[in-house]
Amino acid sequence: MSGSAQKHAMPVAQRRIVLAAVALAVVAGCSEREIILPGKREPVSAILTSDTTETEAEAVTEAVRDITLPPQVANTEAAQSFGTPAFRTDHPQLGQSLTPIWSVNIGKGDSRKHRIVADPVVSGGRIFTLDAETTVTAVSTSGQVLWQRDTLPARADEGDGTGGGLAVDGDILFVSSGLGTLTALDTATGGTIWTQELEAVGVGRPTAFEELVYVMAGDDTGWAIEKDTGRIAWRVTSSETRTNVLGGPAPIVTDGLAVFSFGSGELQAVFRQGGLRRWDASVLGERQGRALSKVDDVTGRPIAKDGVIYAGNQSGRTVAVNAGSGAPIWTSGEGAIDTVLPVGGSVFLVSDRNELVRLNGEDGSRIWGTRLPNFVRERPQRQSEVFAHHGPVLAGGRLLVASSDDALRSFDPVSGGLTGLTDIPGGASTAPVVAGQTLYVVSRKGQLLAYR
């Protein structure tokens, strides 16, 4: 080989490296440039802790508008579930700043197997409560225990039952229990007037109206019981379901009709005379994406207002139907876990995503949503237990929500802004009840607390 060839010759290994680098450069030049999408970067897990996007929040702000609330009324009674118009004070009087005035033990509090689910009722200068098992307590408005009565059936052992509800009609207190009983007690003494053992367990909140007491049992049977004797007048049934929530809502009484909400998600209206079916409607369906559960049970307590019945479930649905015919009026993609509150042309509820939500009463569209505390533990791998929120109720010009995170919150009905915070030692286990310009709530510790 000549000297010139030797000078310009390149080793084989070095030529291979150069060729590989050239090939990579060609490929890189031919490939498409990476597209960087505009917008805020969010972690994949953000859906677990955030329910409203930035765009949604802006839309909510633009949609805020005034509301005309009914005048405040100085009510002295809150004797039954306010789903029935006859028992409801739309806007009770309540002071702007709430201070605890007394508390009293009412029996067993929440535990792993037992829950307090009965809201207190107020009638005749007494507050009546039901603990996590079967003990009923009557308390004076000054915080003195007047009497206590255990409604445990003779056939059951202590600790067997949980759940139930309360309703007062005149001088009779009606007590339902999770063990399938409905008991009538004398409001003054706690003495038993009668007990009816129903053919089911998991009895919900009762409604007493005129000569009958209406109650759900087993979430698939609606009962009408004679108020004076405890005898069964009639019953209605629905399809069975295995996904029920403890503490069924109280039946609604409207003009000539009783409306039951079953665990299957069915609303059934029957004639109060004889129990013949008038119409059927449903609270079925679920939100696409994230929902609290796939339980179709009616957890948003039904309420009748101006010829319309509102109800919701935990799967992301709230509906409005005609009270006379059951015809659907609108359906919202917001579930309801407690009270559905129609007032001033709007509908307020605590949603299955732990938001206090305001809907348009005409079409169910969302006006705003205010986030409430959600997961008890914020670490993603421990995000299973959520805080419970009870309400809302309207009193003293604001919306009130009692929560298991030891707080009673007040909100502006117009904007949803937080306006007040009051401590509930032990956290709330029931919705707040207002009577005599005093707010009553039962804590998870088994205490009745009064605020004024």
As a whole number, mean pLDDT of residues 27-44 equals 50
Check: CB of residue 252 under 8 Å from CB of residue 84: yes
Q: What is the pLDDT of residue 245?
A: 54
Query: Residues near 64 by Cβ (< 8 Å), separated by ≥ 6?
Result: 367, 368, 414, 415, 416
Helix (H, G, I), strand (E, B) or coil at 282: strand
Q: What is the mean pLDDT of the chain?
A: 84
As a whole number, mean pLDDT of residues 86-100 equals 95
15/299: higher pLDDT: 299
Model confidence at 295, pLDDT cuts 50, 70, 90, reads low
Q: What is the pLDDT of residues 165-193, one digit of tens each?
A: 999 999 999 999 988 899 999 999 999 99
In one-letter notation, the amino acid at residue 176 is: S
Query: Is the pLDDT reported for residue 23 higher than 60?
Result: no
Q: What is the pLDDT of residue 375?
A: 72
Q: What is the pLDDT of residue 405?
A: 94
Domains of the chain listed by start with CATH number: 53-451 (2.130.10.10)
Lowest mean pLDDT among 153-162, 367-376, 383-392: 153-162
Over pLDDT 70: what percentage of the chain?
78
Q: What is the pLDDT of residue 292?
A: 52
As a whole number, mean pLDDT of residues 371-389 equals 71
β-sheet with 328-332: strand ranges across: 298-305, 308-313, 318-322, 328-332
Q: What is the pLDDT of residues 256-290, one digit of tens each?
A: 999 998 877 889 999 999 999 999 998 876 655 55
Which residues pair with residue 175 across a beta bridge? 166, 183
As a whole number, mean pLDDT of residues 126-141 equals 96
Q: What is the pLDDT of residue 217?
A: 84
Rounded to the nearest 10 degrees, how much is the dihedral formed by the CA atoms of 392, 250, 406, 113?
-150
* Closest to 80 measured CA to CA, from 192, 195, 206, 203: 206
Q: What is the pLDDT of residues 395-422, one digit of tens each?
A: 999 999 999 999 999 999 999 999 999 9
Over pLDDT 90: what percentage of the chain?
62
Model confidence at 58, pLDDT cuts 50, 70, 90, reads very low
Query: Is the pLDDT reported for residue 299 higher than 80?
Result: no
As a whole number, mean pLDDT of residues 355-360 equals 97
Model confidence at 444, pLDDT cuts 50, 70, 90, reads very high
